[in-house]
Structure 1
Amino acid sequence: PSSPGNQSTCLLEVSLATPKKDPQETYRDYVRRKFRLMEDRNARLGECVNLSHRYTRLLLVKEHSNPMRAQQQLLDTGREHARTVGHQTSPIKIETLFEPDEERPEPPRTVVMQGAAGIGKSMLAHKVMLDWADRKLFQGRFDYLFYINCRELNQSAAERSMRDLISSCWPEPCAPPRELVRVPERLLFIIDGFDELKPSFHDPQGPWCLCWEEKRPTELLLSSLIRKKLLPELSLLITTRPTALEKLHRLLEHPRHVEILGFSEAERKEYFYKYFQDAEQAGHVFNYVRDNEPLFTMCFVPLVCWVVCTCLQQQLEGGGLLRQTSRTTTEVYMLYLLSLMQPKPGTPQLQPPPNQRGLCSLAADGLWNQKILFEEQDLRRHGLHGADVSAFLNMNIFQKDINCERYYSFIHLSFQEFFAAMYYLLDEGERGAGPEQDVHRLLAEYEFSERSFLALTIRFLFGLLNEETRSHLEKSLCWKVSPHIKTRLLQWIQSKAQSAGSTLQQGSLEFFSCLYEIQEEEFIQQALSHFQVIVVSNIASKMEHMVSSFCLKNCRSAQVLHLYGATYSADREDRARCSAGTHTLLVQLPERTVLLDTYSEHLASALCTNPNLIELALYRNALGSRGVKLLCQGLRHPNCKLQNLRLKRCGVSSSACEDLSAALIANKNLTRLDLSGNGIGLPGMTLLCEGLRHPRCRLQMIQLRKCQLESGACQELASVLSTNPHLVELDLTGNALEDLGLRFLCQGLRHPACRLRTLWLFGIDLNKMTHSRLAALRATKPYLDIGC
């Protein structure tokens, strides 16, 4: 037998013969193995998808806004069009997240990546890890990337050090080399899912962790890392839903905010072709979904895109025709749930699990306690036992945690919110061991705030109250839905209207998103009947425009409607005066950026069916020529009682003025028109003046600020002033009329038939002769107020 000395010599020889592998290469290999393959949520046992093959690039933009204004927009599905027009944000690529720019000369140390539920935050974080390991990303910038899953941190009760945290990411049992923290500026930590942290993480109590080997409670360790108390030189990439931005913002100093906007139209198509590997089948499915505009728009959210593809693939595998007609997020999730009840070809019939109510109460309880990982004792408390759990696992509603099989979770947080909404629909006698809060408590906590952690749950609650959806619940799942929920919702909405003085403004877009989910005109009419003034701000996406107009077409009581596009700033626009001699060219909107016909059709319907509506103001709504034509059909309707129409910066072209002219003649109630910020030019002014000169036109005020008008337009306007006895106010601010144009205008102003009392001419470069003409005009018409 060998002596101990001989054994030591042997080991030394082996270690000299086999060079030790570079620890960075060892770690890269481990990251590749961990992140290369992803398991689809509905995958059969052992099936995996290559992340690089499925991953589709997401649209990212730099955000400069206060996080208080960030919105949880599961339906935010076309916003790139509004972004392109508004120039309020700028696109950014993953490769440049930590690069300096014109606003930030120093590279940012913290990047916050925000995005709505299912928008692809975690998959993007996984792809960053994989691309770094494959030497495709951040080479020369970061030596090591570490992935921290906030969901897993919630389960850590023991004290930990930074060394322990890194060790948990390391492939070998031995502690990582001390050299890692010697150059912390070469380290990047990805903290995925900040919004999923327990409340104890948001404001931990105790001394900060200042040393990387010092043990502290996990809450304090993470907070010290985020606040830059611990290793301040390292870099952080934090993903979160917007709902947690305010809490996160309190911990950070000068982070770079990046918003994930999901898939563009081209990327949606790319995703379909990656999911359905057969190109012919992919094209067939993509064209089918694209024809369903609301559904195709919702596919901007990657999770919705996956659900739709999954359901349609199942229909095709079953030999059936494509038959879904989903218009709302709730319908998409319901479609997926019902599809899970259908057996796959060659498998036995799936039976609904015996205790679905327990799953709902578990979801609601977790929602209130902000808990997303559940232990077996949590399941038992809600009456869920082995057979129930197995059934839910087989149906792909529930999953075991990948890193710790003692824990269970829903396949995605949004599915937990879906089942939590179901809990509030059940008859009170059937709810089981769930939370005691009734629907009034739920709504009181929510307050129609898009920042509320309940926002998506409330949208699902409204959507599940749709009669057709409710019928599916009762027939397919044998659930008895409470008949009183709708009444309680309407009572709560009425009380909110009374406390707000019949004005709907704060949270209006979120409120409309809830109403859109229910898709029942009678309910929406009742809900909106308590509001006389409705102001909807920050409408950014095509989907948000569709949601708003769908609700407004069912509004029968409002007297005033104001709809603000997201990129419009009233303060800046109204304060600005054109500097002397300048003229801003207004570029016509390309057709692809123009809003859907449905939007204008719904607004036209509101004009016809709401006898109380007297003021409609659209700011930065990209109507285009087609949209204006449709809107004018409503204006010409005999039931239209509108008096004040504002189409400010709405992409109104010169050709659209023909429809507006016809509306001025047909509508005897319309007295005020604002077309500021539209490039109508001389051709448009010529068409518009035909209506203004007509004897049946009753218009009293017209605003034409920054409308690309030049001297020739003043000839047309002069003829209007000499023939229209009703026009008393004219605003031509910001147009390059020059002295020749003013000379034409003065001819009309001097005419005995002219009744004008107010003329605005700010921002026009005029010579002394023109000023003398205007002074002489004031002397002969002292009641005429001229501002210049």
Structure 2
Amino acid sequence: MELQTILKTSLKCKYHELNENSLLPSRLCYRDLKQDYHLSNLHEHEFRYVDNSDVHTWAVFTTVPLTDILSCDCKHNSSKRTIITLGVSGVGKTTTVQSCALEWAEGKGYHDIHLLFPLTFWELNLLKHELNILELLQTFYPELKELDPSSLNDNNVWLVLDGLDEYHLPLKFSCPTVSDVFEVSTVDVLVTSLIKGTLLPNAHVWITTRYAAATQIPDCYLLKETEVQGFSDEQKEQHFQTVIGNDDLANKAINHVKISRSLDFLCQIPPICTIMANVLKTHLKAHEGFKINPLNLTQIYTNLVKASNSDIITKLKKLAQVRMEEGGNVMYEEDLLESDISAEEVSAFSKECPLVLREEKGLHNTTVFRFGHSSIQEFFAASAKLDDIEANSLLSACCQYLVDVALQSTEGKSDVFLRFIFGLIKERQMLEPTDRLFDYTKKKILEKITSYSAVVLFHCLREYDSQALLNEVKFFLKFGFSPIHGLTPVHWKFMIQRTKAFEGMRENFEMQVSTRCDEKLLRELPAILKSRKAMLRFCNLTDKCCPALAAVLSTRESYLRELDLGYNSISDSGVAALVEGLNDQNCRLKTLRLQGCEVNSQACKYLATTLTQSLKLLELDLSRNDIGDDGLQHLATGLRSHECQLETLKLSQCNIEQKGCHYLASALQDNSNHLTVLDLSINMVGDKGANELFTKFDISQLRKLEMYHCGLTESSCGNIGEALKSESSSLVELNLSNNSLKDRGFALICEGMYAWCSLEKLNVSRCGITGRGCIFLAKVLGSVSQLYSGWMQKTGWQAVELKEIDLSMNCLRDKGVKEISTGLENPYSHLKTLNLSHCSLTDECCAELASGLASEDSNIIELDLSDNDLQDKGVRKLCVGLRNPQCKLEKLS
């Protein structure tokens, strides 16, 4: 117990600053590696273990507390008693060891452990002479002068060896080992003896290491394998808030990082997370609102060092270049001297820039230095390499050679180095985007598209251009052949899959019902930016979210093409904020829906500017907003512009009357080349408004016209019929329901459908049509299109007739339906859906309907007869037709 007290006092003194260091993670996650999961290629570059940006999903491992790993209850025998913990550089292995040791020393945890001896491999490098295990421990803990050998060989004793990757000597398990605590030998033999279990066979051994060094230890000596995962998403956010100190600014910084899946994954590593938080703290400006100007990895590191002493940076770059070739991150004083760097100047620099370089004291009061993270060393090495290449003026060819070298290495040791090379080329503006290096890299990516090499090169290319290869992908999707010579469609199909995964693209973004509010939306901006559609209806949003959404729209990296903000409290000022994003040259939004918001006429003034500037916006839905005639007058200013390429305009229930229709007609008279869908439903435009529109604008060029409940009568139907007659008419859907057309108006519509009409869907529900009107429809259903020549055979693609008609809520009666039924037997009819609900029908029409359904030429698959007085007798008659094998009906109401 006296030994334990002395050891705990020593550890508390050694690690007393640990709790004060704000850069340390508050909690780390550990995961067991199953026995059949042993990492297949531990020599691969470490970023490959944390960067999963090339896959849609990744494995989820069960995390376990450290107390489970460091349990004295775990059974072991002399040959298998070592626990190994793997992790990438900087992920927190040393912090874990020190935290564990301090908790034990302070009596806060691990009470089953009697003695715990943390040792570091970089300090073991300093011991050149032979010694025994007692002398080794007393070298690190000289206070333990009375260390009793018998107290060491117990299962509540732990020897913790931290940082195997920093040990200079290889571990040779084939060499003789020692078993006696008094037997002297070299340090490497003592270490292998502890691992093999010949020395202190009852004690536990815990080793931490980066991946590559773990291959030195044979599986047969490992009791358990674990892995440090680093920061969780929640911890990343907590760390950003701690470093930045302002919640709003921290959230913006987190959003910047999440835009790039690669940066987001790298933030699992605490030092990189700290670097990003510190750089973004100065990069982001509070007065810029939600403006998104993401930095790539190279730009983050460039910002980190740009204010540093240039003389020492130049020397460190050369040193990094040497260290990268030799390996290792710990720099002893002799390493510095070889690069003409004094310990004094490095020490001063480490105090000035602790994120770039840090100083560490150890055994025999030795001072060593480390880069803040191994990736900083690779950044400096890449910078030094480019300096060398630039001096030779063969930049493109030399970089092309580096790409080839990277491809030849299956272990990917130069993955991040090459990524920085491409990023620094962009930062220094050394090559134009048209340089052959980039075409060469693109081709190599596609040739290697199924391997991880493609991901590595993709990272590199994106450091130079965040949109790299997207134009080529769009070209392939549009034209169906490769824009790069020598590559097949198969290459591009794989490319599309990998691009989607790499970008984290998703088709839809929807908020959970329980989290629908502005504050939650502001935390989801990266997810919205990566989605093609943001479905935000009924999300309890206000104007507060609009500047943020505008920032997403104006970001070059945004994939958002459809934004639905329907039924939220978005006022005119919110629309004004959105328009700032819509008018940005980077905006590629195609669909904007604002139905049921609180938009008024002033908002239309803002939107009009978008219509005159945005060539991308194709659909605008302002339905259920009180924009009125004044709003439509403002909107008409934009619609009139030849820059406007709007294809769909929805203005249903907008309190528009005849005057508004006048403004719309005048605008479409000037610019009508693109509009294909127009919805004016539930606006009392009346015959005068409608006829002015029909006179000035050729509705036959529309694909869909919705004028439900618009106060129309038969006097509007003449112009509609004339449009349907047009040989060039493209009108496919027409909704005129809930208008007082009556039989005479319906007759004019039917007259337009006799010959060239391409109409497929017609809704004339509740239009005052009677059985007399059915005579005109029967003529349409019984006619043959003039597009059929006598010698032509009936084929599916020749269908130009009605496929769907809604006659519900018209008093057709039995006589009218009998007229229609004859048309069902037309061999050229393509009618599939017929709605006759609420049409005052009885059983008298059912025999004719049954006959039509039973005809081999009938294509009816859906029939609605609800709300009619058919009774059992009528249904029995219908069943005669339904029973016929030739009946194609699928749905009967």
TM-score (ref. length: structure 2): 0.48
Choose the corresponding residue for 2:12, options 32, 41, 45.
32
AA matched with 1:464: L
CA contact (8 A) 1:118 1:414 kept: no
Shift in Å at residue 95 of structure 1?
1.3
The corresponding residue for 2:329 is 372
Moved more, 307-316 or 122-131: 307-316
CA–CA distance in structure 2, aligned partners of residues 94 and 86 of structure 1: 23
The corresponding residue for 2:757 is none
CA–CA distance in structure 1, aligned partners of residues 529 and 141 of structure 2: 54
SS of structure 1 residue aligned to 2:221 = coil
Choose the corresponding residue for 1:337, options 274, 285, 305.
305
AA matched with 1:170: Y
Task: Trace 1:211-610 onto structure 2 (pairs within 5 A).
Answer: 211-245=180-214, 247-248=215-216, 250=218, 252-275=220-243, 281-292=245-256, 293-294=258-259, 297=264, 298-311=266-279, 325-339=293-307, 341=308, 351-353=309-311, 356-385=313-342, 389=346, 392-396=349-353, 397-403=356-362, 404-405=365-366, 407-428=368-389, 446-447=406-407, 451-465=411-425, 467=426, 469-470=427-428, 491=440, 494=443, 503-522=449-468, 532=488, 533=491, 548-549=502-503, 596-601=527-532
CA–CA distance in structure 2, aligned partners of residues 240 and 462 of structure 1: 30
CA–CA distance in structure 1, aligned partners of residues 492 and 45 of structure 2: 21
SS of structure 2 residue aligned to 1:210 = coil
CA contact (8 A) 1:449 1:507 kept: no
CA contact (8 A) 2:87 2:210 kept: yes
TM-aligned CA distance change 1:275 to 1:227, over 3 Å: farther
CA contact (8 A) 1:74 1:118 kept: no
Shift in Å at residue 119 of structure 1?
2.0
CA–CA distance in structure 1, aligned partners of residues 345 and 501 of structure 2: 38
CA contact (8 A) 1:75 1:329 kept: no
Task: Trace 1:88-237 onto structure 2 (pairs within 5 A).
Answer: 89-98=61-70, 109-140=81-112, 142-172=113-143, 174=145, 176-183=147-154, 185-198=155-168, 200-203=169-172, 206-237=175-206
AA matched with 2:451: Q
CA–CA distance in structure 1, aligned partners of residues 148 and 331 of structure 2: 35
CA contact (8 A) 2:6 2:143 kept: no
CA contact (8 A) 1:63 1:257 kept: yes
CA contact (8 A) 1:512 1:547 kept: no
SS of structure 2 residue aligned to 1:179 = helix
TM-aligned CA distance change 1:78 to 1:457, over 3 Å: closer
CA–CA distance in structure 2, aligned partners of residues 76 and 411 of structure 1: 19
Shift in Å at residue 377 of structure 1?
4.2
SS of structure 1 residue aligned to 2:310 = coil
CA contact (8 A) 1:132 1:138 kept: yes
Moved more, 415-424 or 389-398: 389-398
CA contact (8 A) 2:160 2:207 kept: yes
Shift in Å at residue 225 of structure 1?
2.6
The corresponding residue for 2:27 is 57
CA–CA distance in structure 2, aligned partners of residues 250 and 442 of structure 1: 34
Shift in Å at residue 35 of structure 1?
1.2
| Runs of 5+ consecutive residues of structure 1 not aligned to the other structure | 1-20, 39-48, 342-350, 432-436, 472-480, 554-587, 603-622, 628-632, 635-694, 697-750, 755-788
The corresponding residue for 1:700 is none
CA contact (8 A) 1:374 1:409 kept: yes
AA matched with 2:338: R
Residue deviations 1:5-40 (CA, integer Å, cap 9, x gap) = xxxxxxxxxxxxxxxx812011111111211214xx
TM-aligned CA distance change 1:197 to 1:626, over 3 Å: farther
CA contact (8 A) 2:84 2:206 kept: yes
CA–CA distance in structure 1, aligned partners of residues 563 and 433 of structure 2: 43
Moved more, 455-464 or 518-527: 518-527
AA matched with 1:30: S
CA contact (8 A) 2:173 2:192 kept: yes
TM-aligned CA distance change 1:196 to 1:524, over 3 Å: farther
Shift in Å at residue 130 of structure 1?
0.9
SS of structure 2 residue aligned to 1:416 = helix
CA–CA distance in structure 2, aligned partners of residues 255 and 380 of structure 1: 42
Moved more, 322-331 or 89-98: 322-331
Moved more, 89-98 or 314-323: 314-323
Residue deviations 1:67-119 (CA, integer Å, cap 9, x gap) = 11677564877989x99x98752121111114599xx9879833322223332
The corresponding residue for 1:561 is none
TM-aligned CA distance change 1:286 to 1:181, over 3 Å: same
CA contact (8 A) 2:271 2:373 kept: no
Between the two structures, name the one with larger relative contact order (CA 8 Å, sep ≥ 6): 1
CA–CA distance in structure 1, aligned partners of residues 71 and 230 of structure 2: 22
Residue deviations 1:309-329 (CA, integer Å, cap 9, x gap) = 434566899999999955433
The corresponding residue for 2:630 is none
Task: Trace 1:59-74 onto structure 2 (pairs within 5 A).
Answer: 59-64=29-34, 65-68=37-40, 74=47
SS of structure 2 residue aligned to 1:182 = coil
Q: How many residues are treated as equivalent by the alignment?
A: 517
SS of structure 2 residue aligned to 1:122 = helix
SS of structure 2 residue aligned to 1:427 = helix
CA–CA distance in structure 2, aligned partners of residues 221 and 443 of structure 1: 43
| Runs of 5+ consecutive residues of structure 2 not aligned to the other structure | 474-482, 507-512, 534-559, 565-589, 592-795, 798-855, 860-893
CA contact (8 A) 2:23 2:274 kept: no
Shift in Å at residue 182 of structure 1?
3.0
AA matched with 2:376: F
CA contact (8 A) 2:420 2:463 kept: yes
CA contact (8 A) 1:131 1:137 kept: yes
- State the identity %: 18
TM-score (ref. length: structure 1): 0.53
AA matched with 2:421: L
TM-aligned CA distance change 1:265 to 1:491, over 3 Å: closer
User: Over alpha carbons, which structure has the higher Rg?
Assistant: 2
TM-aligned CA distance change 1:484 to 1:165, over 3 Å: farther
SS of structure 2 residue aligned to 1:291 = helix
TM-aligned CA distance change 1:91 to 1:407, over 3 Å: closer
Query: What is the alpha-carbon root mean square deviation over aligned residues?
Result: 5.6
Moved more, 143-152 or 506-515: 506-515
AA matched with 2:143: E
TM-aligned CA distance change 1:113 to 1:105, over 3 Å: same
